Amino acid sequence: MNLKTAFENNLYTSYPLFRETSLQNRRFKQDSVIRLIEKRKGDPAYEIKQVGESFEARPIHCIKTGTGPRKILLWSQMHGDEPTATMAIFDILNFLEGKNDGFDEARNLILSETSLYFVPMLNPDGAERYQRRNAQNIDINRDALHLQAPESRILKELQQTLQPEFGFNLHDKNPRYSVGNTPKLATISFLATAYDHEKNVNPVREKSIQVITGMNRMLQNYIPNQVGKWNEDHEPRAFGDNIQKWGTSLILIESGGYVGDPEKQYIRKLNFMAILSGLYSIAENSYVNEGREVYYALPENSRYIFDLLIKNVNVTQDGKTFQADFGIDRSEVNYENATKFFYQSKIEDYGDLSIFFGSEEFDATGYTLEKGKVLSVDYDNIHDLDKIDPWSLLKDGYTFIKMKPDFTLSGVSDTQLPLHILRNRSEPAAAPTFEDIATFTLTKNSEVKYAVVNGFIYDLAAENTAFFNGIVE
């Protein structure tokens, strides 16, 4: 085992030593980041500068550490709802501050051979709203040419002033992307961005490919066959493509989905490991031994995965029965100033979905999809619903509760009950179909066997089950 492999293996087991515990929920705001920056001010290991302000006058900081000749610029959250790498950056800073923990040799190598410039939150206005775009509703990553956003001007000025040899462009992506046409979620995807439409490879882009090859090799040990490649078609407005063109070897990392990790804490750990692996390979110059073959063999991201795929279910419509598949996704709806979220489901596709997969799948052969029963109540307060035993209702075939006509509560919202609350609308006339909220029952021999409420499936024969949020509409 070479030194780099041993270093990477030790990172995996030692990660809890460096995890920044103040960042637990990915909907954190800039104040959480500011606190972590402020506590490092005065530490001689750092140079901390405010490099500008967002459109709404929030400060944007750059944190420099290391004294080496090879400059590396790393930025995260240019899209405000993509915070996984922001958490990982502070884990990395904790790692770089450590000592006498078995990593001193690797740490000293990185800090003596590289100068690292971190911009942990480029789009604080977007982070405040937990949205992709900035306060102007501009996608910063499509503003490298016109520079209409102040955040865009800050990033370009940093690149032009520092002229870093390497850049790490750190993103999140839709968690349902698959690794090619497979059932595997693309948990991490890489891209050595193309600087022209022909996708040529010059010495600058070659180095991006080589560093990515090493990071991929490490990740395959922990997420085998769950590393993909982002579409490398040239996007002339994008920062990644232009920064590659401007002479900085650009490494794009996209954090996707991992089953059982909705807050992306495991994916955060993978970012921590992958970025440090890349920095180590740059510091010791070992990336130069890598070729292109592994990079080009990485499958491209595709959209072949639903959150829940129900296959081969019998559907009756207008007196006719046929078989169909249901592809269901659960979207996050922000509330409480975007610090929390609930799920709202949607039947995204319907029909023959035999080429698709589900993070969760159910073969409904022999089952019939039916509209659940509706329980009408005279409650005038949402909290009166706490009196209800939802498990008993589901077992009796009830999936809907109809509130009294004068019950008021504006907007679509959630309930902790695994039920579909009807507030302002009449009860559904039929079972749901394409683009409806996924609430229905699955019956066999006229007995309700499963309930699907707001896109979550419940086995009604189970002894114990976890409930997920229902929906109020």
Do 169 and 285 fall into the same domain?
yes
Question: What DSSP line would sit under 13-62, residue for residue?
Answer: HHGGGT--TT--STT--HHHHHHHHHTTTT-TTEEEEEEEE-TT--EEEE
Please state the domain count of the chain.
2
Q: 103 and 124 in one domain?
A: yes
Claim to verify: residue 432 and residue 290 sit in the same structural domain: no
If asked whether residues 362 and 433 sit together in one domain, one would say yes
Q: What is the token pair recorded at 344?
A: 């709202």
304 CB contacts (<8 Å, ≥6 apart)? 178, 181, 182, 183, 355, 356, 357
CATH number, position 458 = 2.30.40.10
Q: Within this chain, do residues 403 and 372 fall inside the same structural domain, yes or no?
A: yes
Q: Are 153 and 260 within one domain?
A: yes
Q: Is the dihedral of CA 364, 369, 373, 374 positive or negative?
A: positive
Burial category of 403 from C-beta neighbours within 10 Å (exposed 0-12, middle 13-18, buried 19 and up): buried
> Same domain, yes or no, for 175 and 295?
yes
Residues 292 and 354 grouped into a single domain: no
What DSSP letter does each residue of 199-240 carry, written as one string?
Answer: ----HHHHHHHHHHHHHHHHHTTTSTT-EEE------TT-HH
Q: What does DSSP say about strands 166-172 and 70-76: parallel, antiparallel, or unpaired?
A: parallel
Domain interval for residue 364: 306-472
Contact 80, 130 (CB under 8 A): yes
Distance from C-alpha of 352 to C-alpha of 349, rounded to nearest angstrom = 9
**Do 344 and 423 share a domain, yes or no?**
yes
How far apart, in whole angstroms, are the C-alpha atoms of residue 16 and residue 448?
45
- pLDDT tens across the length of the chain (473 residues): 577 888 988 999 999 999 999 999 999 999 999 999 999 999 999 999 999 999 999 999 999 999 999 999 999 999 999 999 999 999 999 999 999 999 999 999 999 999 999 999 999 999 999 999 999 999 999 999 999 999 999 999 999 999 999 999 999 999 999 999 999 999 999 999 999 999 999 999 999 999 999 999 999 999 999 999 999 999 999 999 999 999 999 999 999 999 999 999 999 999 999 999 999 999 999 999 999 999 999 999 999 999 999 999 999 999 999 999 999 999 999 999 999 999 999 999 999 999 999 999 999 999 999 999 999 988 877 778 888 899 999 999 999 999 876 666 556 688 899 999 998 778 898 999 999 999 999 999 999 999 999 999 999 999 888 999 999 98
